[in-house]
Amino acid sequence: MIDHILTLLIFFPALAAMLGFVVAKDSMRAYGIAVAAIEFALSLWLWYAYDPMVSGMQFMESTPIVAAFGINYLLGVDGISLFIIILATFFTLIGIASLTETRRIKDLIITLLFLEMTMVGVFAALDAIVFYVFWELSLVPMLYIIGAWGGPLRIYASIKFFLYTFTGSLIMLVGMLFMAYFYYQATGMWSFSILEWYRLILPENFQLWLFAAFFFGFAIKVPMFPFHTWLPYAHGQAPTIGSVILAAILLKMGTYAFVRFSLPLFPDASVFFMIPIAIIAIIMIIYTAMVAYAQEDIKQVVAYSSVSHMGVIILGTFALNVEGVSGSVFLMLAHGVVSGALFLLVGVIYDRRHTKMMSEFGGLASVMPRYATIFGIMMMASVGLPLTINFVGEFLSLLGFYKQSHVLTLTAGVAIIVGAIYMLTAYKKAFFGPVTNEENKNLSDINKTEMVGLIPLVIVAIWLGVYPKPVLGPINNSVESVIQLMHDKAQSAEAKERIPDLSGKNGTISMQEAH
């Protein structure tokens, strides 16, 4: 069973979702929680069975799908994808467990379970087409969630979300086909296996074009400036659960794909585009932080803050050294936990007041102290306070990029200032001051259902901030092999220099493999 655990992980929720059609409406929530819990347990088992000392892919499965065109059902996880998978199952569980939605809950849970399948699939796929299949498929449930349970502009938002990301990924698809074609030319065989592609060394100008093609798909998903405008709408209109999953997992697909595809496939192009992308990342960080500061809707603050944080992730990714990339992968998890939690928190108040305007609130700290505390913890995590999960990622990402450029890192570091500005201001507006609005005077503090979702997130946010090692270790091992691969493949002198050579410090790698 452990040999096929990834298949199990991917298709179990889908299967359960289909069976879910039969389950009676009142019992659907329990069913959803049970399925998500089993899935989460499976993913934990995956972690348990995962050998952290091995840097390569584990639990690989391979079955030809379209042999004639080199498409294989190829799965595997390494340290980079393992935890994002766990995050996905974790958030689905939390999302369903703390679901406060009452409209058509059955449809919603079935949709969520399908979504879970696609999310796990994206991160477990090692074949570009399989990856693409799940990547695109994930849009559909999200479209439905936003469109059916969202706010007044939900249809506009959901279509925008869908079309925008779809357009980007189609360009990416063309890039993938080119990649496969180059592989075909080089070897006489079609293959979409990423691992096979890794072996390919492309001429630099090809790398640049392909990098650009992939970039569109990833950048829109992340979303990177200036492709980010679908995100505020999507978040603004989506129901809480939709925002949570979107922010926590779906956005990570883009950044994950950078690490999985762009870096190892196109090392020279990565170096070539490093500075421009870093500048985009900085624009994301500062500009969207400013936009977040100007928002009147608390959910939009969190939404724009997501973009801002994604900028740091991108920056870390393009640090092209172990510290930065590990940091960015870790930050993906961190951002998932934190922004997911923040969206859940916004949902709490939205459920009570059916508004998200900060001007409607004020003084919530005295009415809902527990809520304010958890919100405060998560806000501080979002701001990147040490000993919270975000700090580890942000610190490492910035640290990594500092190696590449001092000035840009210094500019990007403004993140910690502007982040504090919009977050603290928003918190002040909503939670501090006297309770002015009559409607707020009798709000109830968070209830058990909501606690179920939030407490584990608080625990994770602090636990991994204090002791990131169990996660950071495997990430580090896998990132090291990626970086080494990049260094070996790099052709230009600049790339060779920018991407560190780890083979010298054999100590770590060989020792780990000896284990």
Partner 1 sequence: MLEPINVSLASLNIATLAPMLIAVLGALVILTIDLAKGGLHKSLYVMISLLFLLLDLGSLIGFADVFLKNGTVIGFFNVMLMDGIAILAQIIIVVGSMLFIPLALTSKRFHEYDYPEYFALFLFMIAGFQFMVASDNLILIFVGLETASLALYTLIALHNRHKSFEAAVKYFTLGALAAGLYAFGSMILYAISGSVEINQIATVLAEDHYSNIGYVLLGMAFMLSAFGFKLSIVPFHMWAPDVYEGSSAALAGYMSIVPKIAGFVVAMRLFEFLVHSGVVWLQVILYIVVVVTMTASNIWALVQTDVKRMLAYSSISHAGFVMAAILIGTTQANSGLFLYWALFSFTNLGSFAMLWVNRQKNLLPGQSSDHPYEKFSGMIKTMPMGAVMMALFMLSLAGIPPFALFWGKLYMIGAAVSSGYTVLALIMALNSAIAAYFYLKLIVFMFMKEPIPAYQNSYFMNASLSLKTTIGLAAVVTIFAIFAVNPLLEVITLFVYNSGY
Partner 2 sequence: MELYLYIALFSPLVGSLFAAIFGASPKTSITGYVTSALLFTSFVSSAILLNYVMGGHTVHVEMMTWMATGDLYIPFGFVVDQVSVVMMMVVTIVSTVVHVYSIGYMDHDKGFNRFFSWLSAFVFSMMVLVMSDNFAGLFIGWEGVGLCSWGLIGFWYQKDSATWAANEAFIMNRIADLGMLIGIFLIYWNIGSIQYDVVFAEVGKLPIDVITWIGIFLFIGAMGKSAQFPLHTWLADAMEGPTPVSALIHAATMVTAGVYLVVRSNPIYDLIPNVGLFIASLGAFVALFAASMALVNRDMKRIIAYSTLSQLGYMFVAAGLGAYWVALFHLMAHAFFKALLFLGAGNVMHAMHDELDPFKMGGLRKVMKGTFIMMTLASVALAGIYPFAGFFSKDLILEVGFVEHHYVIYTVLLLTAGLTAFYSFRLVALIFHGEDRYKLFGIHPHEAYKFMLVAMSPLLVLAIIAGSFKMTYYQLVTNLLPSTQYHVHSEATYWIMTIGTQLFVMLAIAFAYKKYANWNSVPDGSSAMENRFCYKLLWNQYYIPKFYEEVFSKPYLELSKIAWKQIDLKIVDAMVDTIANVIYKTGENTRDIQDGNLSTMLRWMVFGLVVLLALAVAFTVGYNAVGA
Contact residues toward partner 2 (CB under 8 A) are: 160, 163-164, 225-226, 228-230, 287, 290-291, 293-295, 321-323, 326-327, 363, 365-366, 369-370, 373, 380, 385-387, 391-392, 395-396, 398-400, 402-403, 406, 409-410, 413-414, 416-417, 420-421, 424-425, 428, 431-434, 445, 466-469, 472-473, 475-476, 479-480, 505
Per-residue burial over 80-117, b if 16 or more Cβ lie within 10 Å, else e, is bbbbbbbbbbbbbbbbbbbbbbeeebbbbbbbbbbbbb
The residue among 8 and 137 lying less far from partner 1, judged by its C-beta, is: 137
| Rounded-to-integer distance, Cα 323 and Cα 83, Å | 17
Q: Which helix (H) or strand (E) holds 76?
A: strand 71-77
Rounded to the nearest whole angstrom, what is the least distance from the CB of residue 96 to partner 2 in the complex? 28
HSE on the CB side for 240, CA within 13 Å?
A: 29
Residue type, 317: T
Burial of 391 (0-12, 13-18, 19+ CB in 10 A): buried
Q: Which is nearer to partner 1, 101 or 107 (CB)?
A: 107
Q: How far is the CB of 324 from partner 2 (least distance, A)?
A: 9
- Nearest to partner 1 of 141, 254 (CB atom): 141
Collapsing DSSP to helix, strand or coil, 78 comes out as: coil
C-alpha–C-alpha distance, residues 61 and 3, integer Å: 7
Q: Which of 170/367 has CB closer to partner 1? A: 170
* Contacting residues toward partner 1, per CB under 8 A: 64-69, 104, 107, 129, 132-133, 136-137, 139-140, 143-144, 147-148, 154-155, 158-159, 162-163, 166-167, 170-171, 173-174, 177-178, 180-181, 184
Shortest distance (Å) from residue 181 CB to partner 1: 5
**In 405-468, which ranges are continuous DSSP H helix?**
406-412, 414-431, 448-466
CA triple 68-201-223, angle to 5 deg: 85
Question: Cis ω on the peptide bond leading into residue 369 (within 30° of 0)?
Answer: no
Q: Report the C-alpha gap between 72 and 126 in whole angstroms.
A: 9
Residue number with CB closer to partner 1 (65 or 97): 65
Residue among 181 and 467 whose Cβ is closer to partner 2: 467
- Which of partner 2, partner 1, none lies near 137, with the C-beta cut-off 5 to 8 A by kind? partner 1
129 interacts with, out of partner 2, partner 1, none, CB within 5 to 8 A per kind:
partner 1
> From the list partner 1, partner 2, none, which binds 225 (C-beta under 5 to 8 Å, kind-based)?
partner 2
